[in-house]
Chain A
Amino acid sequence: MLFNSLEFAVFFPIVTAAFFLLPQRWRVHWLLFASCIFYMAFIPAYILILFVTILIDYVAGIYLERVEVRYKKPLLWMSIVSTCTVLFIFKYFGFFTGSFIGAAGMFGWQLPTPAVSIILPIGLSFHTFQSLSYVIEVYHGRQRAERNFIVYATYVMFFPQLVAGPIERPQNLLHQFREWHDFNYENVTEGLKRMAWGFFKKLVVADRLALYVNDVYASPKSCNGLQLTTATVFFAYQIYCDFSGYSDIAIGAAQVLGFRLMENFKTPYYALSISEFWRRWHISLSTWFKDYLYVPLGGNRVGKARHIVNLLITFGVSGLWHGANWTFVIWGVLNGVYLITGFLTKGLRDRIFNAVGLREDTLPRKVIMLASTFTLTCVAWIVFRARNVNDAAYVFSHLASNWNFQKLATEQFHMRQFPVAVGSIIVLELAQWVSRSVSIPSVIGRMPMTARWAVYASFVMFVLMLGVYKQTQFIYFQF
């Protein structure tokens, strides 16, 4: 079920009302049932795959606590391999066999292509990682194994964050299913406001920009440099608003029910360096990779060469997590290269800035750093968005050529759409800028009730009237 669907508009109030009306002992069962309905709205049979993943890690968690020390590690690996096998079969089988057959072809071995076409279960990478984080935490003794299957299944399947995160840690979420959640008016309204902001990002900004981006990236060779550049900048905002909008709706929906989810984005385009960008972008995934891959590899507490290799591995795997395509791998590695170049050249850059009189914390220096970080990010997004490596190379090489201001619109995206698209980005940036120093909800909250309701109602109508509602699945669902 999509958050931006009529079905969810009916589903969510019913689930919420019933949740608060039910006695405590039935609430988790109700949440699990609701989550099953939510998930089964996509492809019902795929719930069995989810069930398999849940069962593997539920059993593994219990046995990780019970077995002798020497069996813990093999058991952990068994659990990880089994869970990842499900992910591999559904997400990477086609990619790896295709790549293998392609590579074999280069050596003159013509292998038959397997006639298997598998539809990726929605959000598989998200709940797989959430499940893995549980067994790893249990293995390390930082989390007690959950004995109640219903509670554990709800932890993996909790519908607000089931298909696109945030990827939660058991320490944060699991215990909340055992707690009593009062109907708290402030909680509910704060959650609803957060959801409304998420809907603005998704429906008004991301989905409007998607119309343009999809047109251009579907056929980049028929576009001029201006269209390619505009589409790339639009995509930077589209993917941010699409994914952070989803996270806002997820966090808000959970908050309405009285649950706390972790923050996933912190205005990433305000980052002054690529490393800062990654501390602000998809935080739940970045910290997952940091804790469960980068640090176990040795992190930065190793020699320089090994540190570089660790970074490249972490970002390469992160790229592959995003999709079974070489474009995603290149995107991940490119970000790793950015980071490595960043820390290798930090001293040099500091000296250059100081030499031209731009000391740390001066506005011009910050502007230059912000602009260069945003530009580098946009360059990486080109590889991420392009259908294949050839398209990405074409976009790169034609960004600066043939800027035809007479031909900015595309077939689906007429000139009349530009004011709304650009205006919505400005509203977003203004709100984010103001939020750095003032809490907008608090300011509105201090208004008299009539004025407050007028503001809320206007915002809801604004989102309703300017949103795009067709063909709008969340980008991150595919991961």
Chain B
Amino acid sequence: MGATTRQIEVLSNVSPEVLLERVEEPRRQEERELECRESIAELPARSSVSPRKGVQRLVSFCFLIALLAFAVNALVSVGIRHIKTSSFGAWNQMMQGRVNADVIISGSSRATYHYDPRVIESATGRTAFNIGRVGSQTDVQVAVLKAYLEHNRKPALVVHNLDAFTFVTTREIFEPAQYVPYLDDQTLYESLRPFDPNLAKSRYLPLYGYIVEDMNFAWFTGVRALLGRSPKEDYFRGFCPREKEWTDEFERFKRGNPHGVSFAIEPKGVEALEQLIRLCQQNGIQLVLVYSPEYSEMQSLTNNRSAIFSTFKELADRNHVQLWDFSDWTHDDDRDYFYNSQHLNAKGAEAFSDDLAARLKDYLAKGSKGQPGGFQVSISQLSTAGHN
């Protein structure tokens, strides 16, 4: 009875236009309703599991997933720490205190790809190792050097590679998965954390560092290592020769930046380099700052190059540190020696390492003769700073 009254009420409120439409389009309405019914996901009417038991099951399943995540994370970290080849192998050697070299090369990818410690060793008779990190800025390089010093015997000399972007600070750590197995190392963690707040998540949340922060399947490398499959060896005492020919990257860069580029000289970036200098001085380590070869055409495309080099020189002078500039290197305009504007290929790295090793040999020899037990040589003797 009530329903009928309501229907009449509803109908009396409906306009004639609507009623007409209803008469004209009953089929369309039916079709729509059928479509609607078909398209709506059906839900189970009654549960065979009590809510209490259901919640227990859901919580247990979440617990199982969390347990699995912790287990896989631990296995991946163990696997990566066991790798003896590739960049992981080089990093493991360093973090496990198995380097203890006399000469250390630090810096960005330009350090990793340009400096062959084997050439330096054979020229100088001193052990050498490259701790350059691909995609790192000076602030991260300081963290890496600190970690090295924490775990290894102090070197006699650090050769630190400079870049045009040396004074640009880190916005986000590049390929953070490489650091994840060692984030329990307090020195490394504390040094890196200011540059990436997500590092805390990588440290405390299982798998976060391997799956969220990494795009290169580092976890898979770790699992393979656990099964005894190491990555291909492409690092030699931390040096990675790039068997590549000149690519079109520079041409694309020029098209995208026809008026050149400027690299910021951030006060925090300057402070980071000073921190690196202080770190060496406090530990009684000789430091040589080296600007390794850069393709000549790129040099003219860096609009504020002279300002950057003035800052290098000012820092080196103020702290009595060697500054060697290879901007006008013999092959700086020869594309056979580079694969892009910033990076030497294997052939270029070999040639540059020869040149650098010869210079280091002289430097070490003069230092030894002049000052017992040290490498002190006046800047005027060897520095070629002041380019541009």
Could you say which residues of chain A place their CB within 8 Å of the CB of B219?
Answer: 465
Give the Cβ gap from A286 to chain B, nearest Cβ, in Å: 11
B3 within 8 A of A: no
Determine whether B207 belongs to the interface, using a CB cutoff of 8 Å to chain A: yes
- Neighbour of B51 across the interface among A183, A262, A414, CB < 8 A: A183
| Residues of A385-428 whose CB lies within 8 A of B | 412, 414, 416, 420
CA–CA, A134 to B74, complex, Å?
A: 53
Structural contact, B15 and A461, CB atoms closer than 8 A: no
Q: Cβ of A263 and Cβ of B41 under 8 Å apart?
A: yes
Contact of B217 among A142, A182, A251, A416 (CB under 8 A): A416
In the bound assembly, the distance between CA atoms of A45 and B382 in angstroms comes to 61
Min CB–CB distance B245 → chain A (angstroms) = 13
Report the Cα distance A263→B40, complex, angstroms. Answer: 6
Contacts of A432 in B (CB 8 A): none
Complexed CA–CA distance, A263 and B32 (Å) = 14
Q: Which residue of A lies closest to B255 (CB)?
A: A222
Instruction: Tell me, yes or no, whether A258 is within 8 Å of chain B by CB.
Output: yes
Chain B 352-386 interface residues, beta-carbon cutoff 8 Å to A: none
B186 an interface residue at 8 Å Cβ cutoff?
no
Known A185-B49, A251-B41, A416-B217; contact A456-B68, beta-carbon cutoff 8 A = no
Inter-chain contact A187/B41, CB cutoff 8 Å: no
A43 within 8 A of B: no
- Whether the pair A187, B252 counts as a contact (CB closer than 8 A) is no
Q: Of A65, A172, A412, which one neighbours B13 at CB under 8 angstroms?
A: A65
How long is the Cα–Cα vector from A461 to B67 in the complex, in angstroms?
Answer: 11
Q: What distance in Å separates the Cβ of A335 from its nearest Cβ neighbour in chain B?
A: 20
Min Cβ gap B71→A in Å is: 10
Assembled-state Cα–Cα distance A141/B7 (Å) = 12
How far apart are A377's CB and chain B's nearest CB, in angstroms? 21
Q: What is the chain A residue whose CB lies nearest that of B55?
A: A183
Which residues in B have their C-beta under 8 angstroms from that of A144?
10
CB distance from B253 to the nearest CB of A (A): 11
Contact with B along A333-354 (1 / 0, CB 8 A): 0000000000000000000000
Q: Is the CB of A263 within 8 A of B43?
A: no
B211 touches A469 (CB 8 A): yes
Contact A469 B212 (CB under 8 A): yes
Contact for A211 among B35, B49, B215, CB less than 8 A? B215
Write out the residue numbers on chain A whose beta carbons fall within 8 Å of the beta carbon of B68: 457, 461
Contact with B along A1-31 (1 / 0, CB 8 A): 0000010000000000000100000000000
Other A-B contacts than A140-B18, A182-B47, A194-B41, 12 sampled, CB-CB below 8 A, are A69-B17, A141-B10, A184-B44, A186-B44, A188-B58, A189-B58, A211-B215, A261-B40, A262-B39, A457-B65, A465-B211, A469-B212
* In the complex, the 10 A-B pairs of residues with the closest C-beta atoms, listed nearest first: A185-B54, A185-B49, A186-B44, A69-B15, A469-B212, A184-B47, A141-B18, A183-B51, A141-B14, A262-B39
